[in-house]
Chain A
Amino acid sequence: MFNHDKLSKSEIKELGLIATMVRMHVINMIANAKSGHPGGSLSAVDILVTLYGKCMRHYKEWSEHPEFEDRDRFVLSKGHASAALYAVLAEFEYFPVEELMTFRKLGTRLQGHPSYGYLPGVEVSSGSLGQGLSMACGMALGLKLDKKDSYVYCYCGDGEMQEGQIWEAIMGASQHKLDNLILFVDRNNLQIDGQVDSIKSLGDLKAKFEAFDWAAMEIDGHKYQEIFQAVSKAHKLGKKHKCPVAIICDTVKGKGVSFMENNPDWHGKAPKEEETERALQELRGDYNG
């Protein structure tokens, strides 16, 4: 996918439009379901849109051939951001956009947390926090065994890094020199009960990754150019040092909706009708922008 070093202005604009559309889906889906996780979904949108739009080898091939083995894999370890993932998948034609409104409803393929086996693009079942990185490691090992050059992208929350299993997987990934594994950490600094730093601080996360023999970088998780270039750089770093790469993304929980931004109350709460309207109005403003 990386046939150029930088995104052009028009590509950045295009990603911005998709991201705003995805944010509106997220708000509508959660409002319609009367439940869900807006905060952590909105913080993930720009990264997901850049990844699916500009970095991953995926959808056209996969939608035509569900078993397309050479696809890059994506594992949403912080499964509660499912609304963002589903909205991105729909925007990239994995399934009809109309289906987004079934989110969290009885009988839906769009389960509260991603459920494998129903929806194209969902590679694992996730949402019990801390598990996705191990699964991504297994995929990366499997791809290597089969001599595939596909990448595995895993996406964790910063609060999620408190789970012990994450650190088991971090050690395993460097032990097995998984240079086909890239981890995004969505560092929005908030978890349900408040500030990550006040609950169980992660300290210097970049230094921690490096101490575990990963390559690591810190970027702004809402800047498309930075995200794109970070992934491109991660590919090179991984190959050079034969190691997995962490891209720690500074993000804003609730990004794009002013009254949700940086407010842990919006971790797992649906907006009411009036709040939904306000949120959509803001986003429409961005879209027309």
Chain B
Amino acid sequence: MVNESDIKIKSTREAFGKALVEFGRENQNIVAIDADLSCSTQTKLFAKEFPERFFNAGIAEQDAMGVAAGLSTCGKIPFVATFSVFAAGRAWDQIRNGICYPNFNVKIVGTHGGITVGEDGATHQALEDVALMRTIPNMTVLVPSDEVEVRAAVKFAIEHNGPVYIRISRTSLPTLFNPENYHLEYGRAQLLNTGWNITLVSNGETLIEAFKCAELLKNKGITADIINYPFVKPFDKDILLKSAVKTKKVMVIENHSVIGGLGSAVCECLSENMPTWVKRIGTNDVFGQSGQSSELMSKYGLVAEEFVSEALKLIEIK
């Protein structure tokens, strides 16, 4: 982690777009497919540099997935980018049957994941995408939390043979990791802070909130393990069990429904291996609404100031 005073706010979508260009220069097999959102997803950067390797499917996400599947059979490494809600929702059957079942080498990048889509409102806020992608066999699911991790996720996706879903947010995010020494290892979570009283599990946009929560708890003499899960699937069980056996309390924070996402993955792991008290922080089986992203994060209880009291309640359970 970098020092707090050095924290920069960076667009993770731009990081994705730049990474695709960077790796696209090295690997001629990388192609990109967008569904009329190339300015939003930032695949426009790739399109500008490699026009012959960029395909705009138009407003047709299902077709985009099928085209990617076909391209992969010719040895290409297709990246399909669109909003998370349209990738994981609209084109779910195409991803399941057309990409994951044959284990095709297609990479899906869902931008604008979570409630922080903001003013566009509920239709565009993907609160179920991680759940939808996680249940499909052969799929790998990544939720990176800053520009450094986004670049690493793109690099991983290129090197990994098989379908990958990467969820990126609309909002710009503080850079938490040092690009010099950040290392993303397949299926591995990362213990970023150590404590005794509670385990805070997060990824993506909310990872910074887990840190803020740990700071607030520290003021009350409570210390926390913080585990970052860039990979929701495959799910790293060992690191969670090691932490939970020590702290006995686990809180999961994610910009996603409490149903089916990282919180569910944590519960599945703990209840099968070591039943442990868990509190899931996320949207509580509700649709979002319009508003500024920061307002929505507060409204739906996704900022540390809102959920630190939940952590205190959890710790008090005997």
Query: Which residues of A line the B interface, CB within 8 A?
Result: 73, 75, 115-117, 123-128, 130-143, 145-146, 164-165, 168-169, 171-172, 175-176
Contacts and interface: CB of A to CB of B under 8 A. Distances in A.
Contacts of A128: 93, 97-98
Interface in B100-114: 101-104
B68 interface: yes
Interface stretch (B54-62, B119-127, B297-305, B306-314): B54-62
Contacts of B103: 116-117
Q: What are the 4 closest A-B residue pairs judged by CB atoms, nearest first?
A: A138-B70, A134-B66, A142-B74, A116-B102
Question: Is the contact region of chain A dominated by helix, strand, or loop, or is it mixed?
Answer: helix
Interface of B: 31, 52-53, 55, 57-58, 60, 62-76, 78, 93-94, 97-98, 101-104
A134 B58 contact: no
A140 B55 CA distance: 13
Contacts of B72: 138
9 contacts: A73-B73, A75-B70, A116-B102, A117-B102, A124-B73, A127-B97, A138-B70, A168-B62, A175-B58
A130 B60 CA distance: 13
Given A115-B102, A116-B102, A135-B69, A169 B97 contact: no
- Of B52, B55, B98, most A-chain CB atoms within 10 Å: B98
B94 A124 contact: no
Contacts of A125: 97-98, 101-102
B173 to A, nearest CB: 33
Nearest to B70: A138
- Of B52, B53, B74, B75, most A-chain CB atoms within 10 Å: B74
Contact of A145 (B31, B66, B102): B31
A138 B102 contact: no
Contact of B62 (A116, A139, A164, A171): A164
A257 to B, nearest CB: 30
Contacts of A165: 60, 62-63, 66, 94
Nearest to B100: A125
A133 B69 CA distance: 11
Contacts of B104: 116
